[in-house]
Amino acid sequence: MRRSTVALLIAVAALSGVLWLGGLALAVQDQFFSAAKPPTKEQRPPTAETRQHDEKMDIVALGDSLTRGTGDESGKGYVGYMVDELRRQTDKPIRVTNLAIRGLRSDGLLRQLGQPEIQRQVAMADLIVMTIGGNDLFQGGEALKLDRKQLNEAKRRYVANLDRIFAALRRFNSEAVIFAIGLYNPFGDLDDAKWTSAVVRDWNFASAEVAARYPNIVAVPTFDLFALHVNDYLYSDHFHPNKEGYKRIGERVASLITLTEEDER
């Protein structure tokens, strides 16, 4: 009986040893041979949206009535004339999404950028152009009645909003170049032109200072385009540009856009 028990224990021990050695061999094989194979990454085919995006240039236009082209009898506005110039440089299809709203102020643009669809359009853009601040400053002509303290307060609110606008645009799209178009003085032919011109220049300087805080944001000057013979470039409302005024702005913006070899194809 004692011999049978000993024999049984020896057999169990031997079997355990064999199983342990077998497990060790499998572990070593898994460690060395499996590790030698590089992990495979899941390859996702490009979506239809991505392929279409790569085949064209997407431009998103934001802002107020200037970006909508109010006052241009042809309806093109500066965005249209800018695109005309770009099409002379590239065979790539250009798609423009104009999201501008007449009368929009900086606080309104901030609210607009809170909309998911607007964020999606901005994220897909290769290029962004915008005009904002004219309604914050001129307030339908009321700026002529404001004193310096009121103007400074209006500028403070505008600059704070503009900073948040640029931060949001960079958050939604870190790569697209943004062209922020400055203000001209539509009241340059009036008696107080010297004062209004000083106010507009100060406003433009503040806007450019905010733009300089962010990468790939270009402040586009337009003040000089309307400085001489301003009425030749204004619509009948003596505020918005006419066709020739918008053409000047569009050509100015286009002259600052540098297309890569890929864009030109």
Query: For position 229, which CATH number holds?
Result: 3.40.50.1110
DSSP the chain: -HHHHHHHHHHHHHHHHHHHHHHHHHHHHIIIIIHTSPPPPP-PPPPHHHHHHHTSEEEEEEESHHHHTTT-TTS-HHHHHHHHHHHTT--S-EEEEE---TT--HHHHHHHTTSHHHHHHHHH-SEEEEE-SHHHHHGGGGGGG--HHHHHHHHHHHHHHHHHHHHHHHHH-SSSEEEEE----TTTTSTTHHHHHHHHHHHHHHHHHHHTTSTTEEEE--GGGGSSSGGGGB-TTSSSB-HHHHHHHHHHHHHH----HHHH-
**Domain extent at residue 20:** 1-39
Mean of the per-residue pLDDT values of the chain: 83
**Would you say residue 157 has pLDDT above 90?**
yes
Domain count within the chain: 2
pLDDT at 190: 85
Shared-domain flag, residues 135 and 59: yes
Q: Please give the residue that has the higher pLDDT: either 11 or 88.
A: 88
Shared-domain flag, residues 138 and 254: yes
Shared-domain flag, residues 24 and 149: no
Shared-domain flag, residues 168 and 253: yes
Residue pLDDT, tens place only, 90-141: 999 999 999 999 999 999 999 999 999 999 999 999 999 999 999 999 886 6
Which pTM does this prediction carry? 0.78
Shared-domain flag, residues 77 and 127: yes
Query: Among the ranges 19-28, 45-54, 92-101, 188-197, which has the highest mean pLDDT value?
Result: 92-101
